[in-house]
Amino acid sequence: MTLVAPTGVEVLGHLEPGYRDILSHEALSFLAGLHRRFEKRRQSLLRYRKERQAELDQGALLMFPHETADIRAGEWTVRPAPADLQDRRVEITGPVDRKMVVNALNSGAKCFMADFEDATAPLWSNLVEGQINLRDAIRREIDFTDPKNGKRYQVNDDAAVLIVRPRGWHLDERHVLINGVAMSGSLFDFGLYVFHNHAALKERGTGPYFYLPKLESRLEARLWSLVFQHAEDELGLDRGTLRATVLIETLPAAFELDEILYELKDHIVALNCGRWDYIFSYIKRLKSRKEHVLPDRAAVTMAVPFMNAYSRRVIAVCHRRGAHAMGGMSAFIPVKGDAEANAAAQEKVRQDKLREVKMGHDGTWVAHPDLVPVAKAVFDEFMPKANQVDRAPDPHELPVTTQQLLAAPEGDITDQGVTGNIDVAIRYIAAWLGGRGAVPIHHLMEDAATAEIARAQLWQWRTYDCSTKEGTALTAAFLENKIADICAAIQDEVPGQDELIARIQTAADILADLVLNEEFAEFLTLPAYDRITSDLKKPMALAEFED
């Protein structure tokens, strides 16, 4: 099957039936326009991340920017949310495979965040078929028949509002080259979705809505604002047709909440507390400071001071500016076959949502359809209106300070925590290499963000010569041997499955390199992406193309 691409555009991914409809000449021309207009700016912002990290490593402090004090002090609000985003009390999130799309839209949640990022491994087939699935769902042309039981699924009339999460600015899409340069994964996901679906969404009384991940600064928000404006102009859409919710899941972004809202004020409707990536970012950005070493992942809950401060700040800033403040995801999922364990998991989710609604959040996330009623019951009881945006702030609550945002929590590093981090990271990376981005492991829903915490903690503990509460010294030699031992134990669970055994070994090798390397890798998905695209033609660097 051949594909006639616009001049300068190469599609290196394989073409299955139906792919050419998504990768049409017109759609690829739209993608090329996005790339040619914004790639230089994207690369500049990625370089700025590295420069900022170098400054932090040399002793610079995170703080509220002096140059934007007027924005923080000013009286302004964002554009009001559209009608179908006024009530977002429960949102379900997950990958973009066909079954998940149907089940999530039918889950009873108000919104479904279809995730091309942390919950989707960026195999070419996952990405293109995900676009096909969303296109079909919007037009109510989607169905799915479970091969195990023969049950047929279709989207209900009262389906959840669809919100799409493209990949972060740091990720490339190496299967599409523009003038020899890999295009942005963000713009690939965003561009195909908005190009193919803006008209059909309008017919349904909704619009192209997006969750924007991993922003580090107002400058990265400004780039999305420019992208949105460009897309609206190219597609003949009114200003503000495209709407965004920004995930606050990096530590630097917590210091620029007003500024992020301001840069996107014609398009933004909410900020969201992306708690797992935020913990990872805390470790990453403060990696040069021993006083910020974290205890076991299980001990870093939303109740610890720095996480509580972050949540309170998101709520306060959002409500002052007329935006929604969305809560995050509890990792607990239903436990099948064990009524007692299942009841305990549901109660933990209920308590998490109770904390969020009482703090002032306007909605929350769940990862499984069975948890929608649990979260909804809590928000229905304590938030009778569509949202809490007009809720008056507590007059006794002082503004969140820099010290509160950076304070390290108390807690222990334990043998169990070390073992759990290694086990989860190997299992997750192996699943990711095999094409799965959201994976239930030991009754918790793990995605790229939780795996990032696991490997980052292991690196941090080794770097600062930490020992566990039980007295185990977390040296490089110990961790190298422990990774090998746990890898072998996981492989023993799947005897005879040679391909899976090999993938588990590759995952362990990736983890060992991440944990034992003196340099801290920005994202585990970058070396992992190298593995799944190793057979592709190597793209040129942007500077090489420009020369």
Contact 211, 50 (CB under 8 A): no
CA separation, residue 43 to residues 48, 171, 221 (Å): 9, 11, 14
Contact 191, 173 (CB under 8 A): no
List the catalytic residue out of 165, 297, 313, 436: 165
CB atoms within 10 A of CB 418: 24
474 Cβ contact list (under 8 Å, min separation 6):
413, 418, 458, 461, 462, 465, 466, 467, 468
CB atoms within 10 A of CB 394: 10
> Is 165 marked active-site?
yes
88 Cβ contact list (under 8 Å, min separation 6):
110, 111, 270, 324, 326, 362, 363, 387
What are the φ/ψ torsions at residue 112 (nearest 5 degrees)? -125, 120
What are the φ/ψ torsions at residue 481 (nearest 5 degrees)? -70, -40
CA–CA separation, 371 and 373 (whole Å): 6
CB atoms within 10 A of CB 311: 26
CA separation, residue 381 to residues 76, 111, 162, 348, 391 (Å): 31, 19, 25, 17, 16
Encoded tokens for 415: 């043998």
CB atoms within 10 A of CB 535: 6
> Per residue in 495-517, is it b (16+ CB within 10 Å) or e — as a string?
eeeeebbebbbbbbbbbbebbee
List the catalytic residue out of 167, 362, 447, 462: 447
- The DSSP call for residue 332 is B
Contact 408, 464 (CB under 8 A): no
Smallest CA-to-CA distance from 195 within 32, 30, 38, 34 is with 30
Region for residue 168 given its phi and psi (left: phi exceeds 0; alpha: psi -120 to 50; beta: otherwise): beta
> Is 447 marked active-site?
yes
408 Cβ contact list (under 8 Å, min separation 6):
291, 292, 293, 294, 306
Q: Where are the alpha helices (DSSP H) in 182-269?
A: 185-203, 218-235, 251-254, 257-263
Helix (H, G, I), strand (E, B) or coil at 53: helix
User: Rounded to a whole number, what is the distance in angstroms from the first to the last CA of the chain?
Assistant: 34
Contact 475, 462 (CB under 8 A): yes
CA–CA separation, 316 and 447 (whole Å): 28
Beta strand 143-145 pairing with 111-115: unpaired
Cite the active site residues.
165, 447
